[in-house]
């Protein structure tokens, strides 16, 4: 069995789709599935040197739509070599060109599935500051994307909540099948002192216990809510752990604004993007993980925290919040400053024993719902169903 994964790019700095895809491929490979990736990346991109699976980079892509003249010819020449094609993400050239390549085939066609990775979430059409993008998406839907979604053999979702929300924003919406395959995360590497040292090297101002945020420094992630809520609690005299806000994007206008918003507070640390030992050192040595995001179709970093037996403090806009609530593996509030304030307040009010019990339940939540092997088996069952 051979799957062709089609994705606009796999730059790890671009967010969760890249990481989700790489973990998915590792899990499917362990079930004897062959995986190949075709992207719109620049073939000279440094990050392509570190992947462990076949990648055909047809870029560099141009424009926000990520157009690449070499992509469609590649698809027409090679796509019949595969049993299944999975398109990851929407709204860019790779979805249009994949649909066009398969529509022009006269002979046997591979099965086509679309995995939106949260890109049909209504938040993107409603959020302040996205009005022009929302109009663009509506136009794209009418011209292109509705055909991609409705004429594919099916849609694959990361969780039940993502599937439910995908039905809201666009019409016509009538996919042939809808299946929840979830995402999996590898079990975390065992803690080593080298991890702690690597993390501390990135956070020289760290002097005591801390709460960890890891994600892109982006308006969608609620970083402003987190900083404001944390400083509000401090101003009220509440004794708080330090706060580490880690992730790419500090150089952006929003990232610069967030650093200024921290007001020089030495208990709020911005180490930038954490990778390898530094990342796992952060997860393993934090008290808890926090993500007050406005929209998250899955939340890989949330699951990585669970894998490290860390309670998660999250908003109810992260689509796996019901699984977290079911297992009592963290705390859930709404995606506002008051909601984030309440998350921090509730956490600091717990006793040490209560925190330890929640940490044990966090590990159970990971093992029950989110392992890589479980997700890989669900994916294969979904692909073989039709």
Quick: pLDDT tens for 62-105: 999 999 999 999 999 999 999 999 999 999 999 999 999 999 99
Per-residue pLDDT band for 107 (boundaries 50, 70, 90) equals confident
Most confident of 5-14, 125-134, 334-343: 334-343
Residue 235, classified by CB atoms within 10 Å of its CB into exposed (0-12), middle (13-18) or buried (19+), is exposed
> For residues 317 and 296, is the Cβ–Cβ distance under 8 A?
yes
Residue 261: φ, ψ to 5°: -65, -30
State pLDDT tens for residues 357-379: 999 999 999 999 999 999 999 99
- Share above pLDDT 70 across residues of the chain, in percent, rounded to a whole number: 99
Q: Which two tokens stand for residue 155?
A: 């849609």
What is the CATH code for 2-184+372-385? 3.40.50.2000
Per-residue pLDDT band for 221 (boundaries 50, 70, 90) equals very high
State pLDDT tens for residues 250-285: 999 999 999 999 999 999 999 999 999 999 999 999
Residue 251: φ, ψ to 5°: -80, -10
Over residues 194-200, the mean pLDDT reads: 97
Over residues 41-63, the mean pLDDT reads: 94
Sign (positive/negative) of CA torsion 320, 325, 330, 331?
positive
Q: Kindly compute the dihedral angle of the four CA atoms of residues 216, 217, 222, 223, in this order, to the nearest 10 degrees.
A: 130
CA–CA gap between residue 304 and residue 281 (Å, rounded): 12
CA–CA gap between residue 311 and residue 57 (Å, rounded): 39
CA–CA gap between residue 24 and residue 140 (Å, rounded): 28
- Report the chain's mean pLDDT, rounded to a whole number: 95
- Chain Cα centroid distance, residue 185: 11
Which stretch of 10-14, 42-46, 165-169, 372-376 has the lowest confidence by average pLDDT? Answer: 10-14
CATH fold of the domain at 193-369: Rossmann fold (3.40.50)
- Share above pLDDT 90 across residues of the chain, in percent, rounded to a whole number: 91
Per-residue pLDDT band for 207 (boundaries 50, 70, 90) equals very high
Q: Where in the chain is the domain with CATH 3.40.50.2000?
A: 2-184+372-385, 193-369
State pLDDT tens for residues 123-155: 999 988 899 999 999 999 999 999 999 999 999
Over residues 324-349, the mean pLDDT reads: 98
pTM confidence score: 0.87
Write the CB contacts of 207 (distance below 8 Å, at least 6 apart in sequence): 242
DSSP state, residue 6: E
Q: Which two tokens stand for residue 303?
A: 């699951």
State pLDDT tens for residues 109-124: 899 999 999 999 999 9
> For residues 225 and 336, is the Cβ–Cβ distance under 8 A?
yes
CA–CA gap between residue 190 and residue 68 (Å, rounded): 42
Per-residue pLDDT band for 386 (boundaries 50, 70, 90) equals low
């Amino acid at each position: 069995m051979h799957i062709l994964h089609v994705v606009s790019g796999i730059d790890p700095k671009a967010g969760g789709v890249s990481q989700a895809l790489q973990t998915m491929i590792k899990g499917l490979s362990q079930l004897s599935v062959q995986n190949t990736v075709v992207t719109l990346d620049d073939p000279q991109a440094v990050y392509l040197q570190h992947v462990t699976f076949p990648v055909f980079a047809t870029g560099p892509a141009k424009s926000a739509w990520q157009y690449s003249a070499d992509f469609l010819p590649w698809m027409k020449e090679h796509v019949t070599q595969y049993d299944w094609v999975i398109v990851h993400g929407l709204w860019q050239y790779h979805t249009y060109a994949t649909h066009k390549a398969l529509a022009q085939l006269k002979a046997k066609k591979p099965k086509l599935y679309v995995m939106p990775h949260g890109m049909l979430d209504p938040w993107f059409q409603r959020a302040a500051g996205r009005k022009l993008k929302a109009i663009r998406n509506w136009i794209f839907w009418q011209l292109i994307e509705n055909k991609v979604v409705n004429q594919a053999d099916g849609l694959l979702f990361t969780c039940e909540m993502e599937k439910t929300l995908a039905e809201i924003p666009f019409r016509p919406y009538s996919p042939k099948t809808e299946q929840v395959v979830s995402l999996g995360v590898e079990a975390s590497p065992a803690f080593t002192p080298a991890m702690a040292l690597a993390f501390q090297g990135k956070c020289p101002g760290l002097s005591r216990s801390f709460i960890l945020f890891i994600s892109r420094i982006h308006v969608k992630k609620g970083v402003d809510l987190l900083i404001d809520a944390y400083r509000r609690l401090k101003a009220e005299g509440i004794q708080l752990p330090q706060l580490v806000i880690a992730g790419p994007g500090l150089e952006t206008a929003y990232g610069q604004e967030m650093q200024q918003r921290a007001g020089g507070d030495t208990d709020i640390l911005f180490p930038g993007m954490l990778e390898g030992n530094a990342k796992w050192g952060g997860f393993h040595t934090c008290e808890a993980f926090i993500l007050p995001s406005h929209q998250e179709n899955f939340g890989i970093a949330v699951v990585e925290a669970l894998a490290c037996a860390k309670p998660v403090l999250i908003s109810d806009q992260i689509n796996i919040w019901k699984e977290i609530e079911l297992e009592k593996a963290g705390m859930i509030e709404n995606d506002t400053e008051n909601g984030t304030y309440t998350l921090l307040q509730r956490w600091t009010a717990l006793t040490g024993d209560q925190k330890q019990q929640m940490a044990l339940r966090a590990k159970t939540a990971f093992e029950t719902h989110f392992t890589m092997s479980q997700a890989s088996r669900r994916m294969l069952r979904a692909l073989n169903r039709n």
